[in-house]
Structure 1
Amino acid sequence: MKIAQIAPLAESVPPRLYGGTERVVSFLTEELVRLGHEVTLFAAGDSLTSAELVPAAPRSLRLNPDVRDPIPYHLILLEHVRKRAHEFDILHFHIDLLHFPLLRQLGARTVTTLHGRLDLPDLKPFYSMFSDVPLVSISNDQRRPLPMANFVATVHHGLPRDLLPFSPKPEGYLAFLGRISPEKRPDRAIEIAVRAGMPLKIAAKIDKVDEAYWYEHIKPLVDRHDNVEYIGEVNEKAKASFLGNAAALLFPIDWPEPFGLVMIESMACGTPVIAFRNGSVPEVIDHGVSGFIVDSVDEAVEMVARLPQVDRARVRSTFETRFTSERMASDYLALYRRLINERKPSIPVETEVLAGVTQIGSSSS
């Protein structure tokens, strides 16, 4: 099968540091190539892939200080895709919504995975306008705000089986990994660790939009408590030891998380997750098996005390059963084949016009 994967340009594929969508695109692309498919990746020029790479920007935009506006680069990306669209059996987009006006020109050979939150009011009129566009959700919960949208599948994320090694004997700290932002609630993580009497290590990026939140709300808490340490962003190699040595990952979110890749990264290490019941959490975490689902800080503190009861080998086994990149690629390939098989032959515009002329001529005779 000839497959195009169209990635965001904010990060390289895979990203050097933070970047969930680009990481998933990389895992999917590499697995499809491994399975023998012809894959072309449209992405930032500093991406690393075994597929054919079509660079739409010299390097990832977030780490390029010369970039002020990302939109021109994404329009360049779309022009690259448009020029080569005829080469592919399926075009798989991961870039939110800028490409939607192009899709009707490409016909039924497209699918778009939505990686972000969909509960924003501006999205309803948009997806109502494009209610015929095939979409993939990354959790069933993600779909809820857009009942009018054309979701054709839910495909949970997956990781390469050998990406993160199993760690049977953790050290005695709790981990927070991701972004410093109000919806991720690092303040809750700090409170849980303090009340549970355990060290907390925070590995997270701070976007410009969240700098005020960091300096006004989170940094003072970090400075106040001796058991809390902020270590900044971590790369893939450091992530393995960071998660693997943790007694648990804290995932105290306060928003409808579409998936939460860090949860399955933690599970791959055998590290259980203590997560708040929001968004995709009940679809990802098996309560009492791969972690604990809670509704309050009080419950989270109680679950910290129950961590010694969790079988870390079983956490890893749950990851291998449910969240590998092999399973993810298999799900997407089944969807690609279904969309291709359901595709109706398109009638050229010239044929439609001639047919109309013939009908008019015959009715007037």
Structure 2
Amino acid sequence: MKSGLFILHLRGSTNGAKVVSKLISERYSSENDIIDIATSYGPSNGKLSAQKVVESILFCLQVIYKSLVKKYTFIYYSITPHGFAFYRDVASLLIIKSLTAKKITLHFHVEIKNNFLVKALKKINFFKEIFAICINQSQKERLVLLTGIPAEHIRVIPNRILPCKNIDFLSKHENISQKIRRHRKIILCISNFLEGKGIEDTVSAYLEIRNNHPSSYLIIAGNIVDEAYFKKIMKKIDLIDPNRERIKVFINLKGKAKEKALKHASVLLFPSKLPETFGLVNLEALEAGLAIISYKTPSSHYFIDEKVNGYTADSVEGLAKHLEYILSQPSAFESMMRSSLEKSKKFDTEIFFKELESALSL
């Protein structure tokens, strides 16, 4: 008999929840039941659709059946705390709580919004007996405040999702040596085109240092989530570099093309102004051996050891200042890139699985 139930996100666009869900499915599916909660095969806007309603009904029926028939020792739920999916998840949790007294653990990959439903659930102590996993300490504090989940019921577990045993670190260190020897230096910004992601600050920071470093180039890559914001960014770039000689923009960069961009880049700019719970691209940058310059986010401390493998900043001027320094100091630049690569080893999947199993009492 299967001992536990994992409710996961196995479809849709790539994000932390999907990557973690796939790892969990591959690791635990032989001894536990798996339900795919995702109602989208691509990027989702969180709005209601007929497909989502039908799939959500089928999902709830699966939950009812399995909760009645199976005697699970635990239930792990990768929750989506916003949009239509949150209402579906709450309905499912009401069913689960009414049918089983087993331990329920919710995994919050993104921030929960303090809307009327969250307030109502807190008022009736809905979350009182719930356990939770979140990504960083500040997210934990907000969960306690907004939901009433007891602090002792919440584990902070970063997305340690790098299979380090399969990574050739010697080759990556050699690639860093090659990048240092190259005259051309590539600055990379990978982010969705969305208000708050700070892509305009990336362009402004690069503009400040561009003349001092004629061999530097900026690559911006991401999906268009907000069409108006994308047009605003492109208009700004057209004024600065109309012939795209120094600034390149790529849409929907993924797979081999994304790997190539990370391989040839030397530094990642991550100027997001949003409360990023993790920021998957930072982890990709560590694995590729990139120095990282980022605005301070709830998760920036996971990826950046200040002055060791990068810097945090709080303004365009700060981004430009740090970028100017590392481009002007080859030895410090090389040290930062190698430090990033070594830091990536702290995100080994085996560490994540140990932390997860401890949280689920496996």
Deviations 1:173-205 (A, max 9, x none): 111113111121111111122222132211211
Q: Which amino acid aligns with 1:206?
A: I
The residue aligned with 2:9 is 8
Q: 1:204 — aligned with what?
A: 222
Shift of 1:31: 4.1
Q: Which structure has the highest helix share of the two? A: 2
Q: CA deviation at 1:156?
A: 0.2
Aligned to 1:104: 97
In the aligned structure 1, how far is the partner of 2:97 from the partner of 2:3? 20
- Equivalent residues of 2:72, 2:102 under 8 A apart: no
1:89-128 → structure 2 map (5 Å cutoff): 89-96=73-80, 97=86, 98=89, 99-105=92-98, 106-122=100-116, 124-126=118-120, 128=122
Distance 2:168 2:289 in 1: 9
2:41 is equivalent to residue 41 of structure 1: no
Percent identity between the aligned chains?
18
Partner of 1:329: 353
Give the superposition deviation at 1:7. 2.3
SS, match of residue 289 in structure 1: coil
CA pair 314-334 structure 1, distance change in 2 beyond 3 A: same
Alignment partner of 1:79 is 2:79: no
Q: CA deviation at 1:120?
A: 4.1
State the distance in 1 between where 2:22 and 2:188 align. 25
Using the TM superposition, give the Cα deviation of residue 290 of structure 1 relative to its aligned residue in structure 2, in angstroms.
2.9
Residue in structure 2 matched with residue 359 of structure 1 by the alignment: none
Give the number of aligned pairs. Answer: 311
Unaligned runs of 5+ in 2: 81-85, 211-215
TM-score with structure 1 length normalisation? 0.76
Given that 1:142 and 1:279 are in contact with CA atoms closer than 8 Å, whether structure 2 keeps it comes out as: yes
Match of 2:266 among 247, 250, 268: 247
Structure 2 residue 314 is matched with structure 1 residue 295: yes
- Residues 83 and 256 of structure 1: CA distance in aligned 2, closer, same or farther (over 3 Å): same
Q: Residue 359 of structure 2: SS of its match in structure 1?
A: helix
SS of the residue aligned with 1:107? Answer: coil
For 1:220, the equivalent position in structure 2 comes to 235
Q: Structure 1 residues 161-170 or 243-252, which shifts more?
A: 161-170
CA contact (8 A) 1:256 1:278 kept: yes
Query: Aligned pair in 2 of structure 1 residues 27, 185: CA closer, same or farther (>3 Å)?
Result: same
Match of 1:144 in 2: 141
Is contact 2:266-2:289 (8 Å) kept?
no
Give structure 1 stretches of 5+ with no counterpart: 45-55, 341-365
Question: Alpha-carbon deviation of 1:137?
Answer: 0.9
Aligned equivalents of 1:275 and 1:79: distance in 2?
A: 44
After superposition, give the CA deviation of every residue in 1:44-68 in whole Å (9 maximum; x if it has no partner). 7xxxxxxxxxxx76x72548xxx65
The answer as to 2:180 corresponding to 1:153 is no
Query: Within 2, Cα distance between the matches of 1:69 and 1:60?
Result: 11
**Alignment TM-score, normalising by the size of structure 2:** 0.76
* Residue of structure 2 aligned with 1:20, choices 2, 16, 23: 16
**Deviation of the 1:121 alpha carbon:** 4.3
Separation of aligned partners in 2, 1:237 and 1:163 = 16
What is the CA–CA distance in structure 2 between the aligned matches of 1:286 and 1:219, rounded to whole Å? Answer: 33
1:282 aligned to 2:301?
A: yes
Instruction: Report if aligned partners of 1:9, 1:61 keep a CA contact under 8 Å in 2.
Output: no
Q: State the secondary structure of the residue aligned to 1:111.
A: strand
Which letter does structure 1 place at the counterpart of 2:23?
Answer: F
SS in structure 1 at match of 2:220: strand
List per-residue Cα deviations over 1:23-56 (Å, max 9, x = no partner).
22113333446xxx62443227xxxxxxxxxxx7
